[in-house]
C-alpha cells in the first residue's frame, strides 16, 4: 500500500476511457489523443467511449479496443470523466495492474485529480514518470444462494446491501471470520474500502479512512438500534451478510451494479486479490484534496 514518488516507465501505449453518455468529451479526448500521438505514443480508445462519441476507428491517430484488450496492451489509462468513470474503469482493469489517472469532468472528483483544463500542461510530467503511484485496495463479493455462487463482482468504493425500493427495513445477520457479530435491523449496511470511506459510508456517518490504511469500514444505514455504530475491521477478514427478513433486498457494487436478493441469500466479502494503481500529479496531497472537496477551514458566510 506504500506510495512512491514516481513511476519507473515511459508509456508507449496509452488508453483513453471517457465518461458514459457524455458527447461533450469528444473534443478534449480527440485533442488528447492527437497530443499523445505527436509524442510517438500508440493511442487506444475504449470501444464504448468511441461508440458514444461517434469516433471512428480509422478517423484519427488511434485504435479502438475493449477493456480486455486495453488491460493486455496499455501501459497507462487516462480516464476522462469523474469518479464514476474511474470506478467503472477500476473494476474492469484492476486485474491487469495497469495504472489509471483521472481527468475530472465531474463535480466532486475524489479520484479524478486533474482538472480538464490542466490536462495538457500535466502531460510531460505524466509521460516522464513524475506522477506518484498509489495502490488502492478493492473488495470482491460472492452472492450465495441455495449453497451455490449466484454471482460475483468487485468494487473499489463499496458494497451495499439494502432494503431496495420498499420502505420497510431489512433484517441482516453479520458474521466476520465465521463469528456472529450482530443482527441488524436497518435500511442497509455499507461495507467500504478506505477509498470508499468518503462516499456513501461518509454520508451514513462513517469515518474517513486514509487510503494508505489497511481495513474495511462497516456502516449501518439508519439502524433501528442507535447503538449499532460504524466499525473498522482488518483487510484480511471474511465478511458475511445474510438476509434474515426483507421485502425487496438488493446489493450494489460502487452504486453502478445492482442485483436483486432473496431472504436467506448471503453476501460474502473479502479483499480482492488485486489492487488498483492510481497515479497522482506532482504536489498531490490527500489532505489538501479533502480540504478542497469538503470545504474544511472555510469561514462561515454572512447573511
Catalytic residue IDs: 83
Q: Which residues contact 27 (CB under 8 A, 6 or more apart)?
A: none
The residue to which cell 472555510 is assigned: 298
Q: Which residues pair with 149 in a beta bridge?
A: 144
The distance from CA 271 to its chain's CA centroid, rounded to whole angstroms, is 14
The dihedral over CA atoms of 278, 283, 287, 290, expressed in degrees to the nearest 10, equals: -70
Question: What cell numbers appear for 158 in the block?
Answer: 463499496
CA-only gyration radius of the chain, Å: 21
| Number of residues assigned to the chain | 303
User: CA-to-CA distance for 39 and 248, rounded, in angstroms?
Assistant: 53
Amino acid at each position: 500500500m506504500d506510495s512512491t514518488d514516481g513511476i519507473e516507465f515511459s508509456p508507449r501505449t496509452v488508453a483513453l476511457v471517457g465518461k458514459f453518455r457524455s458527447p461533450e468529451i469528444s473534443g478534449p479526448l480527440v485533442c488528447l489523443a492527437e497530443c499523445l500521438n505527436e509524442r510517438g505514443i500508440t493511442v487506444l480508445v475504449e470501444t464504448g467511449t468511441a461508440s458514444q462519441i461517434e469516433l471512428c476507428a480509422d478517423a484519427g491517430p488511434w485504435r479502438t479496443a475493449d477493456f480486455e484488450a486495453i488491460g493486455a496492451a496499455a501501459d497507462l489509462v487516462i480516464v476522462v470523466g469523474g469518479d464514476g468513470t474511474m470506478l467503472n474503469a477500476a473494476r474492469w482493469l484492476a486485474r491487469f495492474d495497469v495504472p489509471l489517472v483521472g481527468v475530472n469532468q465531474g463535480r466532486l472528483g475524489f479520484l479524478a485529480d486533474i482538472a480538464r483544463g490542466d490536462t495538457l500542461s500535466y502531460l510531460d510530467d505524466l509521460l516522464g514518470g513524475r506522477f506518484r503511484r498509489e495502490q488502492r485496495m478493492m473488495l470482491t463479493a460472492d452472492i450465495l444462494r441455495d449453497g451455490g455462487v449466484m454471482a460475483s463482482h468487485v468494487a473499489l468504493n463499496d458494497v451495499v446491501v439494502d432494503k431496495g425500493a420498499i420502505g420497510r427495513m431489512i433484517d441482516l445477520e453479520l458474521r466476520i471470520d465465521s463469528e456472529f457479530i450482530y443482527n441488524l435491523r436497518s435500511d442497509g449496511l455499507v461495507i467500504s474500502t478506505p477509498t470508499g470511506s468518503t462516499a456513501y459510508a461518509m454520508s451514513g456517518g462513517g469515518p474517513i479512512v486514509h487510503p494508505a490504511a489497511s481495513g474495511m469500514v462497516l456502516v449501518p444505514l439508519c439502524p433501528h438500534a442507535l447503538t449499532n455504530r460504524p466499525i473498522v475491521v482488518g483487510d484480511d477478514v471474511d465478511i458475511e451478510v445474510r438476509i434474515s427478513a426483507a421485502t425487496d433486498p438488493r446489493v450494489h457494487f460502487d452504486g453502478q451494479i445492482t442485483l436483486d436478493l432473496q431472504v436467506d441469500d448471503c453476501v460474502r466479502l473479502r479483499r480482492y486479490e488485486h489492487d488498483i494503481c492510481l497515479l497522482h500529479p506532482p504536489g498531490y496531497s490527500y489532505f489538501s484534496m479533502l480540504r478542497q472537496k469538503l470545504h474544511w477551514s472555510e469561514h462561515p458566510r454572512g447573511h
